[in-house]
């Protein structure tokens, strides 16, 4: 147990950054666990504990700041749940090599999102039926990603809410964290039923992520993101490259 204490600071850093940027801490936790030799299903399920814990603490803080759009959050959150269940169910069928390849693309997508985050601007609130249908479909897909890889769906939720629905960036990241309450919990239940998590490790990650979410929600109003975004992008691209290289050297 003592040897796994390092998972607490890992969860804290992931929760802190996930809360500030709105992409979920799993995008950091899963690569680290994978490099440490954790099987994909264990990495994903342990990470979902942290993602859910982080979304709880972040949502509590953002609720006090009155930055969550509950109407949209509940709709997208409910639609993400069946996708998350599906993702968790098929996670055991994916080989480690395929997992690395797919997750590498997720990291690249997250890097593109972080790079363009400041360029994304709201164009007015739009909740037409066509927009809502597309947003719900995107939420289902984001749920699959969440349950399959153990990461947050912020790289999909936030652009959809800002670009498509016209929500302000100030409220989109907090609302994305609220949506993760639905996506992470549903996927987590399936992973538990399938016996994937290592509970002591998951608990350490969850404790760190919970505290990181509280701190990140407070810092989100003050912190300058430019240097932070560049650093995270570099790390994500480097990790994705390592995943791709490893996949070439291993059997598919």
pLDDT of 120 higher than 60: no
Name the nearest CA neighbour of 72 among 64, 80, 60: 80
Give the pLDDT confidence score for residue 223 in this predicted structure.
67
Kindly report which listed range (94-103, 156-165, 222-231) carries the lowest average pLDDT score: 222-231
pLDDT of 224 higher than 70: no
Residue 123 has a CB neighbour count (10 Å cut-off) of 11
176 vs 233, more confident: 176
Give the pLDDT confidence score for residue 165 in this predicted structure.
83
Cα distance between residue 13 and residue 211, in whole Å: 9
Binned at pLDDT 50, 70 and 90, residue 252 comes out as: low
Residue 119: exposure state from Cβ atoms within 10 A (0-12, 13-18, ≥19): exposed
Give the pLDDT confidence score for residue 13 in this predicted structure.
93
Contact call for residues 12 and 58 (beta carbons, < 8 A): no
159 vs 250, more confident: 159
What number is the average pLDDT over the span 165-171? 80
Cα distance between residue 29 and residue 168, in whole Å: 28
Residues 6+ apart with CB under 8 A from 209: 11, 12, 14, 15, 18, 25, 29, 49, 50, 51, 53, 54, 57
129 vs 250, more confident: 129
243 vs 63, more confident: 63
pLDDT of 229 higher than 70: no
How much is the pTM?
0.84
Residues 6+ apart with CB under 8 A from 16: 25, 212, 213, 215, 216, 219
Cα distance between residue 236 and residue 146, in whole Å: 17
Name the nearest CA neighbour of 178 among 84, 50, 74, 82: 74
Cα distance between residue 242 and residue 72, in whole Å: 37
pLDDT of 157 higher than 90: no
Give the pLDDT confidence score for residue 35 in this predicted structure.
87
Q: Give the rounded percent of residues in the chain with a pLDDT score beyond 90.
A: 43
Greatest mean pLDDT range, 2-6, 23-27, 108-112: 2-6
129's tokens:
């039926």
156's tokens:
């999909």
pLDDT of 196 higher than 90: yes
Number of domains in the chain: 1
Can you give the three-state secondary structure of 47-107, one letter per residue? HHHHHHHHHHHHHHHHHHCCCCCHHHHHHHHHHHHHHHHHHHHHHHHCCHHHHHHHHHHHH
72-116 residue pLDDT tens: 999 999 999 999 999 999 988 888 888 888 888 888 887 787 677
7 vs 219, more confident: 7
Residue 61's domain comprises 2-249
Locate all alpha helices (DSSP H) within 160-220, ordered by sequence. Answer: 169-193, 199-219
pLDDT of 204 higher than 80: yes
């Amino acid at each position: 147990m003592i040897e796994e204490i390092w998972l607490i600071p890992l969860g804290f850093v992931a929760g802190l950054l996930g809360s500030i940027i709105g992409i979920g801490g799993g995008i950091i936790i899963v690569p680290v666990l994978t490099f440490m030799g954790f099987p994909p299903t264990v990495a994903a399920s342990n990470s979902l504990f942290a993602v859910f814990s982080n979304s709880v603490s972040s949502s509590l803080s953002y609720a006090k700041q009155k930055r969550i759009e509950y109407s949209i959050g509940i709709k997208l959150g409910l639609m993400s749940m069946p996708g998350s269940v599906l993702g968790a169910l098929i996670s055991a069928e994916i080989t480690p090599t395929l997992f690395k390849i797919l997750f590498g693309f997720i990291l690249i997508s997250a890097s593109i999102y972080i790079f363009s985050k400041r360029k994304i601007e709201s164009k007015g609130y739009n909740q037409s039926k066509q927009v809502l249908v597309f947003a719900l479909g995107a939420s289902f897909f984001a749920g699959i990603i969440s349950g399959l890889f153990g990461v947050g769906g912020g790289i999909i939720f936030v652009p959809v809410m800002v670009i498509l629905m016209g929500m302000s960036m100030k409220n989109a990241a907090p609302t994305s964290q609220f949506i993760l309450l639905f996506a992470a919990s549903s996927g987590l239940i399936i992973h538990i039923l399938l016996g994937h998590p290592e509970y002591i490790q998951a608990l350490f990650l969850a404790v760190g992520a919970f505290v990181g979410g509280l701190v990140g929600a407070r810092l989100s109003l003050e912190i300058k993101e430019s240097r932070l975004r560049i650093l995270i992008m570099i790390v994500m691209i480097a990790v994705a490259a390592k995943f791709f290289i490893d996949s070439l050297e291993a059997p598919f």
